[in-house]
Chain A
Amino acid sequence: MSSRRVRTTSRPSAQAQQAARLAAEQAARRRHDRRVLLGVLTALVVLVVGGGVGLQAWRTHRLPTAGPEVAVTDAPQPLRDGQPIRLGASDAPLTVQLYADFHCPHCVDFEEELGPTLRAAEAAGRVRTDLYPMAFVDAGSAPAANAMACATEAGFGVRYHAGLFANPTLQWSDAQLLDLAGKVGADADAGFTRCVTSDAKAGWVDSINAAADRAGVTQTPTMVLDGAPVDIAGLTPESLQSMIDAKR
């Protein structure tokens, strides 16, 4: 800075003055451009983050979608404390115990990848799945498990189960839980509505958590096939199918 001032003041030729002025104008323009760019980028970042918050709020609060079709026939099933929900025929030769929380991310992955294989084996009369819907991940876990119990007693548990796992980003408010019944093709009659809104099966959910504790379950999903714990990591539909076939 100081050298330029010395040069321009000591020899103020017209040419040098003009060159200096041009350089100064150019620098000012560049500074101005960068300030504008910074402003635009800041606005874009605010927009992206704000839009992201809005998107996630919508994904949490929106109403559920239908979920996949389930081929298994549903029937009302009374539940007793500490006793799991049964999927498939009670006289099936092979028993699977499944411990899961509707809000545990790995349980969602498990259901998406391996659920269809289990449902097919249940439909074929090969497997009976004992379902332990645990509630420990977050504030939506218990209402979802409670509603699952209500749907089971009302006779559409299998479809409701698929619907719950198909909407893992929802927080599971009463409105969402009631709406899901319609989405999976069941009617949410007065009994189901009361059961959901009053947390009628909260005691049963507690008893399932206690039963899981007694069984030594420390993580979800935990799967027990014919009395032996199954290493879920790396399990594929094909390997699960061959495990089921091997127990013939």
Chain B
Amino acid sequence: MIAVASQPSRLARISPWVSTLVRLLLAGVFLTAGAMKAMDPRASVNAVRAYQLLPASAETVVGWGLPFAEIALGLLLVIGVFTRLLAMVSALVLTAFLVAVVSASARGLSIDCGCFGGGGTVARGQSDYTTEILRDSLLLLAALWLVWQPRSRLALDTEPSGRRELEEAA
């Protein structure tokens, strides 16, 4: 990092812009997914229930609350504060989604992931786990890039963020 700072490499020059794109991509995905899920609270609870992973009371709270958590995460990513911390949260959330979809597939459930609203049990053969897993994996890679390169342009984070940000946040 010190070498990069003293003599800007190509990576150092373009990575803030790549990180800006990645940050806005993740923000857009979380905002869209959250808003579409928030429209229909019943469908959202049904979608969570279809995974058969949580106790009934948690299913309702997650079904109602998760869309708004996604919206909040999306808004903070747009603003660009605590980028590395939020990138880690995004990576954790996406990992949880990925694990849930993989487990649904492994258990032979026939469900729609409900990633962008809708969801729930679907007719046998109507599931599309491959696409869902591929999409989640690509988004997870994007989040990990942002953990590695949190400095981005058009962000409120004025500090050179990095390990210090986390130490300060802790």
Contacts of A53 in B (CB 8 A): 61, 64-65, 68
Q: Does the CB pair A138–B42 fall under 8 Å?
A: yes
Question: Which of these binds chain B: A54-62, A180-188, A196-204?
Answer: A54-62
Contact present for B82 and A38 (CB under 8 Å) = yes
CB contacts under 8 Å to A, within B31-48, are: 38, 40-44, 46
B81 proximity list for chain A (CB < 8 A): 37, 41
Stretch at the interface among A43-51, A125-133, A154-162, A224-232: A43-51
Given A56-B41, A138-B46: A49 in contact with B168 (beta carbons within 8 A): no
Q: Which of B42, B65, B69, B118 contacts A169, CB < 8 Å?
A: B42
Smallest distance from the beta carbon of A30 to chain B beta carbons, Å?
7
The yes or no answer to A82 lying at the interface (CB within 8 A) is: no
C-alpha spacing A111/B68, complex, angstroms: 28
List B contacts of A49 (CB < 8 A).
65, 68-69, 72
Within A132-154, which residues are at the interface with B (CB < 8 Å)?
A: 137-138, 140
| B64 x A57 contact (CB < 8 A) | yes
CB of A105 within 8 Å of the partner chain: yes
Q: Are B159 and A34 in contact (CB under 8 A)?
A: yes
A140 to B67, CA, bound (A): 22
**B76 with A41: CB separation less than 8 A:** yes
Q: How many residues of A contact B (CB 8 A)?
A: 29
B157 to chain A, nearest CB (A): 10
Contact of B168 among A31, A45, A171, A218 (CB under 8 A): A31
Q: Which of A41, A44, A50, A51 contacts B82 (CB 8 A)?
A: A41
Which residues in chain B, 125-170, are within 8 Å of chain A measured between CB atoms? 159, 165, 168-169
B169 touches A171 (CB 8 A): no
Instruction: Give CA–CA (A13, B65) in the complex, Å.
Output: 58
A34-B168 in contact (CB<8A): yes
A103 part of interface (Cβ distance < 8 Å): yes
Nearest CB to that of A219 among chain B residues? B123
Asked if B104 CB lies within 8 Å of chain A CBs, one says: no
**Can you name 8 extra interface pairs (CB under 8 A) apart from A48-B69, A105-B117?**
A30-B159, A34-B159, A52-B64, A56-B64, A168-B40, A168-B42, A169-B41, A171-B42
**9 nearest A-B residue pairs (beta carbon):** A52-B68, A56-B41, A56-B64, A53-B64, A45-B72, A53-B65, A48-B72, A49-B68, A49-B65
